[in-house]
Amino acid sequence: MRRISIFGATGSIGVNTVDLITRQGGSDAYDVVALTGGRNVARLAQQARDLRADMAVTCFPECYTALKEALAGSGIAAAAGPDAVAEAADRPADWTMSAIVGAAGLVPGLRALRHGGTLALANKESLVTAGPLLMQTARDHGARILPVDSEHSAIFQTLVGEDPAAVERIIITASGGAFRDWPLDRLATATPAQAATHPNWDMGQRITIDSASMFNKALEVIEVQEYFGVDPTQIQVLVHPESLVHAMVGFRDGAIMAHLGAADMRHAIGYALNWPDRANLPVERLDFARIGQLNFRDPDPARYPALVLARQVMATRGLAGAVFNAAKEAALDAFIDGRIGFLAMAEVVGAVLDRVSHETSLTNAVISLDNVMQADQLARDCAAQIIKKSKQY
Ligand code: NDP
Ligand code: MG
């Protein structure tokens, strides 16, 4: 039986992963090694019982007692804390879902790659902060990384059987987020609750707000550069309000292969789970006559400054991705807590990128875990200072 682990099992991607695994036979078909979560201990314990997991881990030490109690009598081991999450990744698995949110997903992903199996990667922050390290670790251990982010799964699928050298350009689409049609001068007043609604996708709170600011798309263009190894000039973003075309790949003969599908993450998760086969997945089948039309337009840089910052990061490379992601996480926390406004997020991240790149050499540093963690901490400290002083935002 295939041994599987799910990191971030209680989140949006995690729940969809558990749903597919359950539909595909659950504990009769899979040997579930470890499930991890955070505060949602009741859900984690239920998932662990349903899938008969060997162990369940919450990343928060203060949630340990509740998890232990919820698992009482089940024979399932309980553990807590970031180290316990990383140790769960040391337990050999053939297929691991990386669906923790934020930079916290990096270490478990790196540790899971050491088993030489498959890492289904939803945690885009791993590639943005430490892309070369992640890809090299996979190569060193004969492991495979399969993208789960919908755009990247789409690109991966359009490249099956193709010569990568024949790729001319890669286009990823963006819905435009919650404020796509708001007048620009209203954006400064946008609240976290307003930003946390998505026109098409049902996702976790943080990525939904990142979709409104397009920080999500900014992370994704960097993810394309790191995963597919293309030049930034070959990567284009288009606003596509219907969210049905996820990505398009243009080849040197002028052909364009597009990947379309319903806005349901179970497609990309199911593709990574069943690769290289295609399984029957419970996603809506598109009815093009009813859809009628698909729209595309260039994103307005004034509305989406995060995309401009992503270009700066891709040009700098090195540790710039780690700085960018950490500053973004800090700015997002501050926005969610009401300490800064919606537009200030991009201003803070831009200021951190400028300041940290003056203080350190972002370009030449080796992408080791230590260097990535240091750059991450430096960026968070710098963001905290800027946010504290930023009453004008
Ligand atoms: P959610 O916020 O819904 O879930 C995050 C998961 O991580 C939960 O299990 C949460 O636990 C756990 N978690 C939170 N903080 C930590 C931490 N510090 N250490 C360890 N675990 C933690 O996120 P999503 O499922 O939306 O996203 C997960 C990842 O997938 C992100 O990287 C996101 O960018 C990416 N992604 C998501 C998509 C989506 O459709 N949702 C689409 C494409 C990519 P708990 O909830 O129990 O506190
Ligand atoms: Mg995506």
Is the CB of residue 207 below 6 angstroms from any atom belonging to ligand 1?
Answer: yes
Q: What's residue 393's pLDDT?
A: 46
pLDDT band at 282 (very low <50, low <70, confident <90, very high): very high
Regarding the beta carbon of 13 and ligand 1, being less than 6 Å apart is answered: yes
Q: Is the CB of 250 under 6 A from ligand 1?
A: no
Q: Give the pLDDT mean for 299-322.
A: 96
Query: Ligand 1 within 6 A of 201 CB?
Result: yes
Pairing mode, strands 235-239 and 245-251: unpaired
- For residue 33, CA distances in Å to 19, 21, 37, 211 come to 17, 13, 14, 33
CATH architecture of 2-147: 3-Layer(aba) Sandwich (3.40)
- Closest ligand to C-alpha of residue 175 is 2
Query: Does ligand 1 have an atom closer than 6 angstroms to the CB of 153?
Result: no
Distances (CA, A) of 124 to 115, 153, 209, 280, 289: 20, 12, 15, 26, 34
User: Cβ neighbours of residue 344 under 8 Å, at least 6 residues apart?
Assistant: 331, 334, 335, 390, 393
Statement: residue 358 has pLDDT above 80: no
Let me know how long the chain is. Answer: 393
Q: pLDDT > 70: what percent of the chain?
A: 99
Ligand 1 mutation pick, 127, 150, 207, max ligand atoms within 8 A of CB: 207
Query: In 3-state terms, what secondary structure has residue 54?
Result: coil
Secondary structure percentages of the chain, helix, strand, coil, to 5: 50, 15, 35
CA of 154 to the centre of ligand 2 (A): 10
Q: Measured in angstroms, how far is the CA atom of residue 390 from the centroid of ligand 2?
A: 31
Q: Is the pLDDT of residue 81 over 60?
A: yes
Measure the CA–CA gap between 308 and 301, rounded to whole angstroms.
7
Judge if the beta carbon of residue 101 lies within 6 A of ligand 1: yes
Please, what is the end-to-end C-alpha distance for the chain in angstroms?
55
State if residue 125 touches ligand 1 by the CB under 6 angstroms criterion.
yes
Q: Considering every ligand atom shown, identify the ligand nearest to the alpha carbon of residue 155 and give its number.
A: 2
Beta bridge partners, 297, equal: 239
**AA letter at 192:** P
> Can you say whether residue 83 is alpha, beta or left, with left for phi > 0 and alpha for psi between -120 and 50 degrees?
alpha
**How large is the angle between the packed helices 369-388 and 124-140, nearest 10 degrees?**
170
Indicate the domain borders of the chain: 2-147, 153-262, 317-389
pLDDT digits 0-9 by tens, 197-240: 998 989 999 999 999 999 999 999 999 999 999 999 999 999 99
CA-nearest of 55, 49, 52, 41 to 10 is: 41
355 HSE (CA, 13 A, CB side):
16
The proportion of the chain whose per-residue pLDDT surpasses 90, expressed as a percent, equals 95
109-152 per-position pLDDT tens digit? 999 999 999 999 999 999 999 999 999 999 999 999 999 999 99
**Axis-axis angle for helices 215-228, 320-336 (nearest 10):** 160
**pLDDT at residue 357 in the model:** 79
Burial label for 189, CB within 10 Å (0-12, 13-18, 19+), is: exposed
pLDDT, average across residues 22-35: 98
Q: Determine contact, residues 55/4, Cβ cutoff 8 Å.
A: no
Domain 317-389 is found in CATH 3.60.10.10: no
The owner of tokens 């710039």 is 320
Question: Which helix (DSSP H) or strand (DSSP E) does residue 333 occupy?
Answer: helix 320-336
Minimal-distance CA residue to ligand 1 atom 43: 149
Task: Tell whether ligand 1 has an atom less than 6 A from the beta carbon of residue 12.
Answer: yes
37 C-beta closer than 6 A to ligand 1: yes
Positive or negative torsion for Cα 51, 53, 59, 63: positive
Q: Is the preceding peptide bond at 132 cis, omega within 30 degrees of 0?
A: no
Predicted confidence at residue 363, as pLDDT, reads 74
Nearest CA to ligand 1 atom 48: 38
Question: What is the strand order of the sheet 245-251 is part of?
Answer: 235-239, 167-174, 245-251, 256-260
pLDDT band (50, 70, 90) for residue 359:
confident
How far, in Å, is the centroid of ligand 1 from the Cα of 204? 6
The rounded distance, in Å, linking the Cα atoms of 254 and 265 is 30
State the closest ligand 1 atom to the C-alpha of 108, by its place in the atom list counted from 1: 20
What is the mean predicted confidence (pLDDT) over 326-332? Answer: 98
Instruction: Tell whether ligand 1 has an atom less than 6 A from the beta carbon of residue 124.
Output: yes
Q: Which residue has the tokens 């923790």?
A: 100
Distance CA 87, CA 260 (A): 38
